[in-house]
Structure 1
Amino acid sequence: MSRRHHFHIDHLGHSVSATVQTGHRAVVEILVDGKETGHARPDDDRSVTVPVELPTDPPTTVTVRAITGPGTPRCVLYATADGEPQVMAPRPY
């Protein structure tokens, strides 16, 4: 059975959202300010790293790591400038 999980964080004044669809074949979609900027399908290890750019001047590259299983999916944002991981908050919708 397929299920969608949503995650969100604000970083450098921009909205970063992730949708993780679980099921037979997991799919991860990343949106920045409401526009899809990254898309991936995890391999057998059940996690995937998706690099995206924030529309700053100059553009800022960040990475979203989605862990699709086992258990409840989770997403973490890694900013390349400071390298500090930031857990993306789950959204109930």
Structure 2
Amino acid sequence: MRQRYSFHVDWAGHSVTVNVRSGWITETELLVDGKECAFHRVHGHGSYPLTLSGQLPEDPPQPLAVTLDRTGRADHPLACVLAVAGGEQPMPEHTAR
């Protein structure tokens, strides 16, 4: 059975979203302002921690990274953290559509 997870945060006027679809193949995408800027695909349930990198569309572009890791909890098995501008911010989980 395929599982879906979605994490989202608004940061400095930008939307940052991470979507995970796991099953026989696990696909993880990083969206900034609704545009895909990183994608990872692996057979199986994925290996964690997993870090995807992108950038905020500013002048000059500002780099960011999101890291997914297992929590060990059945109710929320993944956690996601946004690293940008020298700091880190947990990304809340949302119901995937």
Bin the TM-score by the shorter chain. Answer: 0.7 to 0.9
- The aligned counterpart of 1:27 is 27
- The aligned counterpart of 1:89 is 92
Question: For 2:52 and 2:63, how far apart are their aligned partners in 1?
Answer: 10
Among 79, 83, 97, the residue aligned to 1:74? 79
Q: Which amino acid aligns with 1:78?
A: A
SS in structure 1 of the partner of residue 60 of structure 2? coil
**More divergent stretch after superposition (69-78 vs 27-36):** 69-78
Question: For 2:70 and 2:23, how far apart are their aligned partners in 1?
Answer: 10
Segments of structure 1 that go 5 or more residues without pairing to the other structure are: none
Deviation at residue 47 of structure 1 after TM alignment: 2.4
Matched-pair identity in % = 35
Paired residues for 1:1-93 under 5 Å: 1-41=1-41, 45-67=47-69, 71=73, 72-79=77-84, 81-82=85-86, 84-93=87-96
Question: For 2:17 and 2:60, how far apart are their aligned partners in 1?
Answer: 21
Deviation at residue 90 of structure 1 after TM alignment: 0.9
Q: Which amino acid aligns with 1:88?
A: M
Question: For 1:76 and 1:42, how far apart are their aligned partners in 2?
Answer: 20
SS in structure 1 of the partner of residue 29 of structure 2? strand
TM-score (norm 1): 0.83
Q: Which amino acid aligns with 2:37?
A: T
Q: Which amino acid aligns with 2:3?
A: R
Runs (4+) of structure 1 moved beyond 6 Å? none
Deviation at residue 92 of structure 1 after TM alignment: 1.9
Larger strand fraction of residues:
2
